[in-house]
Amino acid sequence: MKYSVLNKPMLICEKELKYAKGICIAGIVVALILNLIFTLVSNDSNITLFLVLNILVDIVFGALIYSYYILNIENTKRLLNLYKKERDTLSGTVETVGLERRTHMSIDCVEVKINNRILFLPENTIDLAMGDNVTVYYTSGIIVEVEK
């Protein structure tokens, strides 16, 4: 049985990425509209209040959009790009599965040793145990698919 690091079909991942990007763009548009409203309703007596509100809106929406991008878009986009690349194949027995997290190509991974070859498995994607007989498909040293 084949297991992918994407945990879902590639087309669904691409649709989810488009949806997530749409949410980020909507957040930017809402922030711009709020800034425009605060600018239009301000006058000489309350200009400082609305200037502070504009700055707060920019900070809050900027932080929300950035954190949403980091949590929902960035990692999936990297894995999807790796998944689309040309792959090499390695068959054998899993000798060790590292317990500590390492960063390889800006992706959080665990180290996996198969037939004296060290590869990296993206964290929280595929469960591998020592002694498993597997065929792995990898690119740039990162496992993208496992067949058990």
pLDDT at 90: 93
> Is the full-model pTM beyond 0.85?
no
pLDDT band (50, 70, 90) for residue 91: very high
Query: pLDDT-based confidence at 3, cuts 50/70/90?
Result: confident
Residue 13 banded pLDDT, cuts 50, 70, 90 = confident
pLDDT tens by residue, 17-72: 888 888 889 989 999 999 999 888 888 888 888 889 999 999 999 998 998 888 77
Could you count the other beta carbons within 10 Å of the beta carbon of residue 131?
Answer: 8
Main-chain phi, psi angles of 145, to 5 degrees? -155, 145
- What is the pLDDT at residue 44? 82
- CA 148 – CA 142 distance, rounded (Å): 17
Q: Residue 147: name the closest of 120, 123, 128 by CA.
A: 128
d(CA 4, CA 126): 7
Long-range contacts of 70-74 (CB under 8 A, 24+ apart): 72/20, 73/17, 73/20, 73/21, 73/24
Sign of CA dihedral 143, 141, 129, 122: negative
3-state secondary structure of 11: helix
